[in-house]
Amino acid sequence: MEHSMPLVTMIVAGFGLAYLFGMIANYFRLSPIVGYLLAGVLLGPATPGYTADPNLSHQLAEIGVILLMFGVGLHFSWNDLLKVKTIAITGALCQIAIATLMGWAFTQYLGWSMAEGIIFGLALSVASTVVLLRAFEEYDLLKTLRGRIAVGWLIIEDLFVVIALVFLPAIAAVLNQKGVDSTEALFNSSNLIITLGFTLFKIIAFFTLILVVGRRIIPWLLKITEETKSSELFRLAVLAIALCVAFGAAKLFGVSFAIGAFFAGMILSESELSHRAAQETLPLRDAFAVLFFVSMGMLLNPNILIAKPVLLLATVSIIILGKSIAAYLIMLTFRYPQYTAITISVSLAQIGEFSFILADLGLKLKILSEEAQDIIIAAAIISIFINPMLFKLLDRFDPKEKEEESS
């Protein structure tokens, strides 16, 4: 049965164990996310018994990311993004640069290659969209100033990673050159510039299409569907719009599923039916988000916890302390209130899905070792484990200060 129906078996095992360990985590006053991750570890290849198909779990997790970002887009307008563009762009790029530099410097001390150090540092610099949005939804922060800054910050990070993933092979070729003449080096550098320009062109083309054409078609489709008075068709229309736009963005323009879904939701937010659309996607969004965390737990190799504890501790410190301090200082530089700065810094003190994608690409390019990939995965899970606890510590601040900054 497991071999003939791998998808069904994985979903049953994933939801069943996620519920069990989620309840146990909740009993000990931990975030249910911790339980979902532990469920994934049990379903992974590192533990005995049934092993779920990681390819299937990854694809189901992608659907969760699409629906989650689509829901955020429904609550986030273009005007909101423009209001925080300065801090989002500057903050995200500065934080990525600082975190990447810290990761690279640490690996140089260990004797790793320059290319491996850069990819390792870049993987530590990008926060998880799913984890951050889940936390902000739980604490009802998405509609606050902090929520707008955090989402804008994430968008810039995601765009940066999308570009990095496209021309990372060319960068790897330049950084790993050995025994080549200057002509070949120049040729590689020219390829890098051409690839970057083509990628930027595709991203601009997608944004133009979704803002000009999508602004008319997407709300119109939802409106004519609502006129049928069929809840089933309306729910199907919302899901079809989210999934089709995200898929088209990834396949035709090279933009991530998350960014494509976000902009589809943002365009739809201009419709008077946006609230209903958000409600219709909520159950599926939560269900697939659970599978995302289960799939992350499946990637963990527990042996790395014993084999490389010092390396793992240093990596987690860069994620939780290094990134947080950098984000906090950036926010204060722009003269944002202290509580707002702390909230943003805490929300970024974790890594997730994009870090895994970068690590996987680095491994395929043969410039990142399996040990480095295991460290990234283990550090990501530990950071996700700790992040909800950091959010709970925010409640110790003055409630009046929080109320003033959320308005």
Q: List the pLDDT tens digit at each of the 407 positions of the chain.
A: 445 688 888 889 999 999 999 999 888 877 788 889 889 989 988 888 888 887 787 788 788 778 877 877 787 667 777 888 899 999 999 999 999 999 999 999 888 888 889 899 999 999 988 788 888 888 888 888 898 899 889 888 887 887 787 677 666 666 555 544 434 444 555 666 776 677 778 888 888 888 888 888 888 898 899 899 898 899 899 889 989 999 998 888 877 787 888 888 888 887 778 888 888 878 888 888 888 888 888 888 888 889 999 999 999 999 999 999 999 999 999 999 998 999 999 999 999 878 888 888 888 888 889 899 889 989 988 998 899 889 888 766 655 555 444 44
- Give the C-alpha separation, 333 to 329, whole Å: 6
What pLDDT score does 284 carry?
Answer: 82
What pLDDT score does 231 carry?
Answer: 87
- Specify if 46 maps to a domain: no
Please give the residue range of the domain that contains residue 386.
Answer: 62-281+311-406
What pLDDT score does 94 carry?
Answer: 95
Whether the CB-CB separation of 4 and 21 falls below 8 Å is answered with no
pTM, whole model, 2 decimals? 0.79
Q: What count of residues does the chain have? A: 407
- Specify if 119 maps to a domain: yes
- Token pair listed for 196: 């970057």
Residue 366: left (phi > 0), alpha (psi -120 to 50), or beta? left
CATH number (domain holding residue 247): 1.20.1530.20
- Specify if 318 maps to a domain: yes
Number of domains present in the structure of the chain: 1
- Give the C-alpha separation, 396 to 151, whole Å: 24
- Give the C-alpha separation, 265 to 65, whole Å: 13
- Token pair listed for 97: 């640069």
- Specify if 51 maps to a domain: no
- Specify if 16 maps to a domain: no
Q: Residue 20: count other Cβ atoms within 10 Å of its Cβ.
A: 14
- Specify if 68 maps to a domain: yes
3-state secondary structure 21-60: HHHHHHHCCCCHHHHHHHHHHHHCCCCCCCCCCHHHHHHH
Which tens digit of pLDDT belongs to each residue from 78-134? 777 788 889 999 999 999 999 999 999 999 988 888 888 989 999 999 998 878 888
- Give the C-alpha separation, 269 to 218, whole Å: 10
Rg of the chain over CA atoms, in angstroms?
21
- Specify if 13 maps to a domain: no
- Specify if 356 maps to a domain: yes
